[in-house]
Structures are given as C-alpha cells and as structure tokens.
Amino acid sequence: MTTTQSQTEQSFRIQTPDAPPEAYDRASGDGATDQADVKTEEMLVNMGPQHPSTHGVLRVVLRTDGEMVLEAIPHIGYLHRCAEKIGENVAYFQYIPYTDRMDYLAGMNENWTFCLAAERLAGITLPRRAELIRIIICELNRVASHLVSFGTYGLDIGAFTPFLYAFREREYVLDLFEMVCGARLTYSYFTVGGSTHDLPDGYTDKIIEFLDYFEPKIPEYNDLLTYNHIFIKRTANVGVIPKQMAIDYALTGPVIRGSGIAYDLRRPDDASKRYGLYHEMDFDVITAKGEMGTLGDCWDRYIIRMREMVESCKIIRQAIKMLPAPEGVGNSAGCYRVKLPRNFKPEAGEVYVETENPRGILGFYLESQGGPIPYRCKARAATFCNLSVTTAVCKDVLLADVPAIIGSIDIVMGQVDR
C-alpha cells in the first residue's frame, strides 16, 4: 500500500511541471510569494453533507490555506442503508427493487447486474430477445444517466442552462421507461430470467423516434457547454489523474477512460468477462486524448460521457434491428422471459459478476447455499472506488476547483454508501 501511494505521488509530481503555465500559476497562488503582506493560516472547512455541489450527502473535509486546498478527505456513510445485509434476508427476486436504490440514476443497469449474477448462479441462459431488451433499455438508461451527469456538472461549474436542456431530454427517456415498466426512477424492470413485461406495442418505433430527436441535440450541448471558453478554462488542466494513478486506485468507467485507458467491460480483453450480446455490436470504446490540456483532466472525463451517449445511440439502433419477433414466455429466441419457478432456489455455489455501468464497473458477489435467499450478497460499487481518488487529486488545488473535480468523478451517494 505504501509503495503504491509513493509511486502515485511521484507520478503526480512529475506531471505537474508538464502542465501548461496557466495551471502552474494557479498552483502557486497567482504569483503571491513569501513577501506578500497577506498572511494566511490553515483552516478546516466542512463541505457538505448538505452542499449542493457534492451530488448528495457527501461530506468533504478540506484543509485550506486561503484559497488553496491542501487536502480533501471525503467522509461517507450518510446514506448507508445496509443494502447488502438486506440482500441476505430477502429472496433473489425481492432484492431487485433494492438494487434500483443503489445507483438511482441508472437503476436498469443495476437490475441487470444483479439478475445476471443470479442467472449465472443458477446457470440460466436467456433467450435472444430478452438479452436484446436488456441492452436496449440499459443503453437508454446510460444516455439518461450521462444526461444528468452532464447537466449537473454544468451546475457545479456555474452554468445553469445546460441542466435544463439535459433534463428535458432525460424526461423523454423516463417517459419511455414509464411505458415499459411503469416507473420513472426505481424501475425493477428486469427480473431473474428476463424482464417482467415484454416491450409494449410500437415501442421500438418510439425509441427510434427519440433517437432521431436526440442525436442532433448532442452537438447543441457541445456548443452550449463543451466548447464554451469559460467551461474549458474551469475544467482543462484541473484535477489531472495520470494513467498510473487511475490504475492504482482501481478507477473504472468514464473516469479511467478519461485518463486514456480503454477499459470497458462491454469490450473486455478477456472473453470470459463478456456479458449480454455486446460482442455482436459495433461501437467504439471512447478514450480521452487530452485535447484541451493535460490527459486525464476534468474536461477529458466530461467529454467521455458526451461521446458515450453517441455510442449508446448506435448500440440501441443496432439492437433494435437485431430484435426477434415476440413469442411470450419460454426458451425460444423470441421470448422475453424464461419460465422459472416462483420458489427460485439456485444450487449451492458462488458467483461474481461485473458489468459496465454508466459510472464504472458494478460487481455483484452472490453466494448460495441452496436456499431461496442468498447466503452472502456483496456489491462492488464503481463510484465508491472512484471517490477514493479524491484525496489524491484534490491536493494543492483552488477551493473552486474541488466541486469541478468531484463533479467530474460523477458520484452517486446511493451507490457509494449502499
């Protein structure tokens, strides 16, 4: 542990002089030297847990010296609901509503991961239609989740307008979810062995209609926020996570791809980690190139999400083309659900499944002893691991950059605390 830490610190220090002079000037306090007549002293500042820019109930204790943040320590646990322990007390299908409440912005993806773990435990393979329904719905959810991330990131930086545009489009996605499962936030749409309902009539046409409407909006967002000069000044060269640090802290999702590492479980290097039918889809894993400054800065992490929305739209269009005709419940290709006994009891064994969520890799570890409820249920939350890098990144940064850094990591406290 100590060796990795010192390595990261070193690599972090090596990076700093390479950064353009603007970032360097910021770090030295705008030319203020020891001769300046203003004397500052260290102060502990509590940011949160009710701070609007901490994305929930995150409390960050900042050790500040004037405007400079010397150290930022995140304190978590304000939203802890014993979700893992609850999993050991309810049946497999009853736990699905609880997974919605972990990452409440991407409930469908969480449902999928848990259902996938239970299915792997019982050795169930899904019909083709069921798999494609999952891909369509989860990629829609990824779009909705990235829209929130993009909108609220603008809010953190001080741009209010993009937020309203992002939520307008998200509303259409939520309407689509309401049509398919009846809920707008806590979906519980997937169940062990498929999904609770088949897609309604004419649903795919509605998705295509939405995509046709939505895809031209992304360049509009880019005009509004991405290439806005003020936004670039606020995010480029801020909160740089070098490649090695990203690996050391086990970062996943857009955060690690923002550091230039193409790590996406939808396109795993190892075929045994494959899930769903993503290997049949044609899409690119987006990685950042450090266009506006240093590789791995806040702007890079932000642009990953914007570009991933385009890729998600591509995946949805392909999946809709591949969708077989509906056949009801059963095992043939067109079924949306495998018929399972109500008293679902997988054989004794353990399984660990990881999937790529909008915020990174979500893993579920399940252990069965042959009964109707899991013996052990554990979730590896992406944002929990991503949040751990905050202390390393928020070192010698300006106070106003801390919300920018935390926002770019895109945490959801429901998932961090579980």
Partner 1 sequence: MPSTPEQYFKDLWSTIKSITIGLRITLKYMFSKSVTIDYPFEKLAFAPRFRGIHEFEADKCIACDQCAKSCPVDCIYIDKSAPRKIDKKTGKAAGGELLRYAIDYQKCMFCALCTEPCPTDCIHMGKNHDLSSYSRHEMIVEFAEIDKKGLRTPIPLWVERNAGTIEWVAKEKERLEKGELATTAADIPST
Among 27, 88, 104, 179, binds partner 1 (CB under 8 A): 179
Instruction: Find the part of the chain contacting partner 1 (CB under 8 A) among 116-124, 174-182, 260-268, 306-314.
Output: 174-182
Q: 101 phi and psi, to 5 degrees?
A: -85, 0
Instruction: Find the part of the chain contacting partner 1 (CB under 8 A) among 19-27, 61-69, 115-123, 378-386.
Output: 19-27
Least distance from partner 1 to the Cβ atom of residue 228, Å: 4
Verify binding: residue 285, partner 1, rule CB under 8 A.
no
Least distance from partner 1 to the Cβ atom of residue 225, Å: 8
Among 12, 93, 163, 210, binds partner 1 (CB under 8 A): 93
Q: 157 phi and psi, to 5 degrees?
A: -80, -25
- Through-space distance between the first and last CA atoms of the chain, rounded to whole angstroms: 25
Among 51, 63, 128, 233, binds partner 1 (CB under 8 A): 233
- The tokens describing 351, both together, are 């399984």
Q: Is residue 7 within 8 Å of 244, Cβ to Cβ?
A: yes
Among 18, 42, 65, 175, binds partner 1 (CB under 8 A): 175
Residue among 30 and 41 whose Cβ is closer to partner 1? 30
Among 62, 117, 137, 181, binds partner 1 (CB under 8 A): 181
Instruction: Find the part of the chain contacting partner 1 (CB under 8 A) among 20-28, 52-60, 253-261, 410-418.
Output: 20-28
Instruction: Find the part of the chain contacting partner 1 (CB under 8 A) among 67-75, 167-175, 266-274, 390-398.
Output: 167-175
Least distance from partner 1 to the Cβ atom of residue 315, Å: 24
- Nearest in space to 226 (alpha carbons), one of 130, 312, 301: 301
Q: Is residue 73 within 8 Å of 60, Cβ to Cβ?
A: yes
Instruction: Give the three-state DSSP class for 362.
Output: strand
- CA gap 268, 356 in Å, rounded: 10
- CA gap 192, 96 in Å, rounded: 9
- CA gap 25, 32 in Å, rounded: 10
185-204 residues in contact with partner 1 (CB under 8 A) are: 186, 188, 196-198, 200
Verify binding: residue 223, partner 1, rule CB under 8 A.
yes
Least distance from partner 1 to the Cβ atom of residue 57, Å: 20
Verify binding: residue 302, partner 1, rule CB under 8 A.
no
- CA gap 108, 88 in Å, rounded: 21
How many residues bind partner 1 (CB under 8 A)? The answer is 41
Verify binding: residue 337, partner 1, rule CB under 8 A.
yes
Residue among 83 and 261 whose Cβ is closer to partner 1? 83
Q: Is residue 358 within 8 Å of 145, Cβ to Cβ?
A: yes
In what helix (H) or strand (E) does residue 416 lie, and over which residues does it extend?
helix 413-417
Residue among 40 and 161 whose Cβ is closer to partner 1? 161
In what helix (H) or strand (E) does residue 383 lie, and over which residues does it extend?
helix 382-387
Alpha helix locations (H) across 47-187?
83-87, 92-100, 107-122, 128-157, 161-181
Among 12, 98, 263, 299, binds partner 1 (CB under 8 A): 98
- Nearest in space to 381 (alpha carbons), one of 355, 358, 353, 362: 362
Check residue 53 and report its DSSP letter: G
Among 72, 144, 157, 224, binds partner 1 (CB under 8 A): 224
Among 27, 90, 322, 333, binds partner 1 (CB under 8 A): 90
CA separation, residue 10 to residues 251, 290, 393 (Å): 18, 21, 13
304-333 residues in contact with partner 1 (CB under 8 A) are: 328-329
Least distance from partner 1 to the Cβ atom of residue 330, Å: 11
Contacts of 327 (CB under 8 A, 6+ apart): 129, 333, 334, 335
- CA gap 372, 369 in Å, rounded: 9
Per-residue x/- mask for partner 1, residues 111 to 150, rule CB under 8 A?
----------------------------------------
Check residue 273 and report its DSSP letter: G
User: E strands along 236-348, which residues?
Assistant: 328-329, 335-337
22-41 residues in contact with partner 1 (CB under 8 A) are: 22, 25, 30
- Residues within the interface to partner 1 (CB under 8 A): 21-22, 25, 30, 90, 93-98, 161, 168, 171, 175, 178-183, 186, 188, 196-198, 200, 220, 223-224, 227-231, 233, 328-329, 337, 339, 342
